[in-house]
Structure 1
Amino acid sequence: MSASLPAAEKVAERAQEIHSTIEADKEFPAFKAASLKYDSDWQCFTGSVVIAEYDQEQDKHGLFAEGLKALCLKAAVYEMTGDEKTAEIPIAVPVDEMTHAMIAQPQLLARITARVGVSIIHQTDQEHTDWRPEDYTYQAYCAAWGEPDPRLWLPAEEVARRLAWLDQKYAAMGFRKQGQAHSFMFSADELASVPA
């Protein structure tokens, strides 16, 4: 059974402290650089592509900033509850995708969080990407940093709508199941027009 969520204002205050301490850490620049360099691996058919007029080179910096805030909120909830499931508060899909790039830097992140004295919580089978304006995450975020960027913090229903639209586009190109299946053979004929 999950623990009760602490007051959003208390979480916000602690998340701000965690955020400031992480950013001040001596290895934070290396952590940020490594996370942003992961950009050729962390994009997927269902994450950042739902952002309007998305450009990974330009948008990865804003997504990193939002991903860090999301992880700090989750760390604050975990610190106050001691419960991993409770700490998996709803996060917007594009922001959640960025957190994957961040936790893919385990050595740097482990050293930073050890010095800061916090635990970063993220487990795929427990994560919630059903974020909505006015929910608990929104309240804590607003108390800590003001309104989240609406271009990056997309409500779950809007993400679902955009993914349905993208599914139609993917299907026209031969991709099924949001890019998780296709029937391309990569035969010599199919690849004939592509330089080796």
Structure 2
Amino acid sequence: MTSLEPTTIGKRAAEILKAMQAHPAYARLTDASMKYSPCWATFTGYPTISKWNLEADGGPLLVEALRVLALKAAVYELTGGDERAAELLVPDPVDEMIHAVLAQFTLMTKLQTDLGLLFPHATELESYTYTRGCVTDDYYAAAGWGEQPLRYWLDSREVNRRLVILNGLYQQVGIGVDGRSHNIDFDTVPDNWNPVGAAS
């Protein structure tokens, strides 16, 4: 097993990202991932970003997701396929964008086959405990990608604080904790109902 030195992981991750970007399917992958945005309707990841805006934040989040996928692939490769080691701690908003990229199953399969890589992702191994200064940050820095945008790289403590606020607001409109339920009865809403501020 190769040592998990940040410089080793970072160097390999940077190579992987460059190989992804050079692949003929890369433009289609990024385009398709952005077109997946109607399915980004989550309550616990993207909304934890202050003044979240799909148009402004989608592109930068995609960059971060692709970088993390390259880091995970490097760890997986350099540890001889250790899925646990490769399931890096990442902030919730970035993790949600990773899901949007991985939803492009055909394109990701093609990239994996053509580049001889595996982009690991195991939800049962995920832990929402990303903390600033953890090994993920060390790998990111070693890849030479500069400073992480702190707008998206939210520490889990801050995410949890924001989720308390969000859940309080959700409750006011009948949405349950983390958006896992609601008490809206669509059969009782008139066909011509138009909430204040909604498009006509």
Task: Give TM-score, length-normalised by structure 2.
Answer: 0.92
Using the TM superposition, give the Cα deviation of residue 89 of structure 1 relative to its aligned residue in structure 2, in angstroms.
0.9
SS at match of 1:187: helix
Change (3 A) 1:58 1:77: same
| Residue of structure 1 in register with 2:84 after alignment | 85
Moved more, 137-146 or 153-162: 137-146
Change (3 A) 1:100 1:71: same
Using the TM superposition, give the Cα deviation of residue 43 of structure 1 relative to its aligned residue in structure 2, in angstroms.
3.1
Change (3 A) 1:193 1:146: same
Using the TM superposition, give the Cα deviation of residue 187 of structure 1 relative to its aligned residue in structure 2, in angstroms.
2.0
What count of residue pairs does the alignment treat as equivalent?
194
CA RMSD for the aligned pairs? 1.8
Instruction: Tell me how far apart the structure 1 counterparts of residues 69 and 96 of structure 2 sit (CA, whole Å).
Output: 12
Instruction: Tell me how far apart the structure 1 counterparts of residues 189 and 22 of structure 2 sit (CA, whole Å).
Output: 54
Moved more, 43-52 or 123-132: 123-132
| Residue of structure 1 in register with 2:17 after alignment | 19
Q: Does structure 1 conserve the Cα–Cα contact (< 8 Å) formed by 2:132 and 2:155?
A: yes
Q: Does structure 2 conserve the Cα–Cα contact (< 8 Å) formed by 1:22 and 1:113?
A: no
Instruction: Tell me how far apart the structure 1 counterparts of residues 2 and 28 of structure 2 sit (CA, whole Å).
Output: 36
Deviations 1:5-28 (A, max 9, x none): 711111000000000000110010
The amino acid that maps onto 1:156 is: S
SS at match of 1:23: helix
| Residue of structure 2 in register with 1:102 after alignment | 101
Using the TM superposition, give the Cα deviation of residue 4 of structure 1 relative to its aligned residue in structure 2, in angstroms.
8.8
Q: Does structure 1 conserve the Cα–Cα contact (< 8 Å) formed by 2:2 and 2:78?
A: no
Identity %: 35
| Residue of structure 2 in register with 1:115 after alignment | 114
Deviations 1:19-46 (A, max 9, x none): 0000110010001000000001023000
Structure 2 unaligned regions, length at least 5: none
Alignment of 1:1-196 (within 5 A): 6-81=4-79, 82-144=81-143, 145-189=145-189, 191-194=191-194
Task: Give TM-score, length-normalised by structure 1.
Answer: 0.93
Using the TM superposition, give the Cα deviation of residue 117 of structure 1 relative to its aligned residue in structure 2, in angstroms.
1.3
Using the TM superposition, give the Cα deviation of residue 192 of structure 1 relative to its aligned residue in structure 2, in angstroms.
4.5
Q: Does structure 1 conserve the Cα–Cα contact (< 8 Å) formed by 2:76 and 2:83?
A: yes
Instruction: Tell me how far apart the structure 2 counterparts of residues 123 and 31 of structure 1 sit (CA, whole Å).
Output: 21
Structure 1 unaligned regions, length at least 5: none
